[in-house]
Structure 1
């Protein structure tokens, strides 16, 4: 694997540093930075961004950072730092928006943390950009093409979100991240629901 590009490396380092600081502070940092529902008195505007840099456990952190290493570095090398950062932010914000809307409709009161929304956006982009790239899963250890992995993850998250079979996992935020990533690709390409791009503007998808 080539060295991690700068933005992906910085995001991973920030996530790890904040996790360590939060442990040292006894969890107080998470309380300020996790995303609370808008109906909660604990909700603050900055949480729609800060939640994506906090994690609830070492396993949660390691899995998300592994995903960033696998998919984020590849997409940053393709897009460059500026476009990659825009895409990452779009995924995180879309995941936050989806979670806030669903929380309001369903009456949920629990906060959310994690980079999973942005990671699912990157997974969507990876699958659309390299659909036939083979990925070796960890559990179970089987090879699978990227396009099928995206479809399986999307279907799984939709099922789990609707069925509500796993409490404590923000399935709709994951779907929101995938939707945000897909919309960002459509915007760059000048495809519906967005107007066509002007001649000479960049667009790959």
Structure 2
């Protein structure tokens, strides 16, 4: 997905932290739906859990595949919601400026889907119908992408701790691994790993379905042209015999 040259080394331009259109759209969708949850009574929350929450049972046993998309935009925990909003405001806009709004939103969709699919599949393995909610997989994937694109740039982690983009990426990966191991949250661990792994492949250019499609078509056209050139200039009988 990378389309520009790598950023220059040095201190990261703090003006890049201004919120962008795509990030603002994601923020409003999640904040709005999550606030509805937080301000609703138990009956409304139960309905939202039933129709919007992806779990191993709801997705793979009851066919509620749409919850793979609705799950990321619902965050019932206020502390997690605040963290995700801060990352959307501070780090994610740099990715949108790098890729453009369309590619950025596709990145958000792909990493979020990877997280919910992997998390719910792990739920089938563990037998735990743990809900996969919120932007956490996408957020951690975004930090991985940020660390790849701005690896040597100096940033202030939430305005307090100075580090490079790559150090931030490794620190978050270590924190996530520790959180999963100590809490034995294998479902969330699968979601985080899938999202961060996909983010790394998309950002580094090692996974590009569109490029694979073009290469496949190019090889097919070359084989077709080779067949046509092989029969050119021969008589019908010669073409059949050779």
TM norm structure 2 = 0.70
| Residue 103 (structure 1) aligned to one of 109, 115, 123 | 123
Q: Where does residue 202 of structure 2 map in the other structure?
A: 184
Q: How does 1:60-71 map to 2 (within 5 A)?
A: 60-71=80-91
Structure 2 stretches lacking a partner, 5+ long: 1-14, 216-242
Paired with 1:155 and 1:107, the residues of 2 have a C-alpha distance of: 26
Q: Is the 8 A contact 1:124 1:181 kept in 2?
A: yes
Paired with 1:37 and 1:108, the residues of 2 have a C-alpha distance of: 8
Q: Where does residue 124 of structure 1 map in the other structure?
A: 144
How large is the Cα RMSD of the aligned pairs?
A: 2.9
Q: 1:197 to 1:67 in 2, by over 3 A?
A: farther
Which protein, 1 or 2, shows the higher relative CO under an 8 Å CA cutoff with sep ≥ 6? 2
Deviation for aligned residue 1:76: 0.6
Query: Could you list the per-position Cα deviations for residues 59-96 of structure 1 after superposition, in whole angstroms to 9, with x for gaps in the alignment?
Result: 11110011111221111111111110111111101111
TM norm structure 1 = 0.81
Runs of 4+ in 1 over 6 A off after TM superposition: none
Q: 1:80 to 1:176 in 2, by over 3 A?
A: same
Q: 1:105 to 1:164 in 2, by over 3 A?
A: farther
Q: Where does residue 35 of structure 1 map in the other structure?
A: 54
Q: Secondary structure at the match of 1:134?
A: strand
Work out the number of aligned pairs and report it. 194
Q: Which has the larger radius of gyration?
A: 2
Q: 1:24 to 1:56 in 2, by over 3 A?
A: closer
Q: Secondary structure at the match of 2:174?
A: helix
Query: Could you list the per-position Cα deviations for residues 175-204 of structure 1 after superposition, in whole angstroms to 9, with x for gaps in the alignment?
Result: 221012122234x46679x84976xxxxxx
**Structure with more helix by fraction:** 2
| Residue 165 (structure 1) aligned to one of 179, 183, 186 | 183
Q: How does 1:141-152 map to 2 (within 5 A)?
A: 141-152=160-171
Deviation for aligned residue 1:171: 2.9
| Residue 14 (structure 1) aligned to one of 18, 29, 37 | 29
Q: Is the 8 A contact 1:112 1:170 kept in 2?
A: yes
| Residue 115 (structure 1) aligned to one of 131, 135, 139 | 135
